[in-house]
Structure 1
């Protein structure tokens, strides 16, 4: 009787292996999909340059800034400016305030998101505190810079872009760069 069930067992094993392989490949496939379509508001983790950007003085875009710490992150984290009207192609700099209100040193990493998601392709960060981990001692406050521009190629349908950061505590086992360990976060 064991031979009678062998084809079913083989098919079930192959199906299980295929499902595991698909599940394993799903995250990289999703990342590729988001990069191609601009969905999910992912922004680049590399600094952009504005060499070819020519400001479009005929157009204004409202950029909104939102910041929030993760539920388990006990820092105060907020933008100094909440809204800014910009001409696409112009370079702007704003700051975010981070304040470690705990009694211990902590390291954090900010994760950005842009809404609407398709606009993420046109929001370029030249300098961003999100590129590195931020290490603050107990009670320390820090102004963290964001230098950006909106690409003039941004489709006309977008008149408002919202940049949102969520701040997460970095696990103590994660290595801290020399730059963040010294508190020099101005890149």
Structure 2
């Protein structure tokens, strides 16, 4: 009888340990999924890793420009194997701090496929990223180019005047905005035509 009670106690303890272990594993899994968006928010707030800020037109309208200028350099790249030509139309620009400015990038799909890409970006020096504000940017959404299609992609931005009061940025004379396009999908034009015909037939 005593042995049976002891076995029941051990089984109960083992179940409790197992449940605690399972709960810890699930918690760690949840933290893993949460880590990516939390890290992204951290980067956006602090500018860590060269992450720029995103603002709306109303926020931008409330910024007062100052009588100081800064050089902005533009850099463009594509990942290995992506069949796009991608470059800035102007390599450098001198802007008034706090004043909105626009940069244009040229993208050309040199393949016979429909290619969708996503642009990653960063700013150098990293400590200046938190003061580089984008109002509109092709990097906010995926971009799809048809075979041999060429487009101009705008970036509307400004440099926050608060950068002038930051000791870490007092010696910054030029900010580099760099983009790299990555392939999201590649499709054959014939597939798109076939899907269009199927849709028309279904609608008819």
Q: TM-score range by the shorter chain?
A: 0.7 to 0.9
The structure that has the greater radius of gyration is 2
Unaligned runs of 5+ in 1: 174-187
**Which of 33, 39, 42 pairs up with 1:24?**
33
Instruction: Give the SS at the match of 2:23.
Output: helix
In 1, are the aligned partners of 2:114 and 2:186 still within 8 Å (CA)? Answer: no
Is 1:133 the counterpart of 2:127? The answer is no
Post-superposition offset of 1:88: 0.4
Query: How far off its partner does 1:100 sit?
Result: 0.7
User: Would you say 1:12 and 2:26 are equivalent positions?
Assistant: no
Q: Of the candidates 61, 64, 69, which is equivalent to residue 51 of structure 1?
A: 61
Is 1:99 matched with 2:113?
no
CA RMSD of aligned residues (A): 2.6
Alignment of 1:29-44 (within 5 A): 29-44=38-53
Q: Structure 1 residue 160 and structure 2 residue 174: aligned?
A: yes
Q: How many residues align?
A: 172
Q: Secondary structure at the match of 1:30?
A: helix
Shift of 1:64: 1.6
Q: Secondary structure at the match of 2:87?
A: strand
Cα distance in 1 for residues equivalent to 2:55 and 2:161? 19
Unaligned runs of 5+ in 2: 1-6, 188-204
Q: Structure 1 or 2: larger helix share?
A: 2
CA distance in 2, matches of 1:32, 1:44: 10
- Give the whole-Å Cα distance in 1 for the aligned partners of 2:100 and 2:54: 18
- How big is each residue's C-alpha offset from its partner over 1:118-137, in whole Å with a ceiling of 9 and x where there is no partner? 42332122332223433322
Contact persistence 1:115–1:163 (CA under 8 A): yes
TM-score, normalising length: structure 2: 0.70
Shift of residue 152, structure 1, vs aligned partner: 1.3
Preserved CA contact (<8 Å) 2:136 2:157: yes
Q: CA deviation at 1:36?
A: 3.1
Q: State the TM-score, normalized to the length of structure 1.
A: 0.76
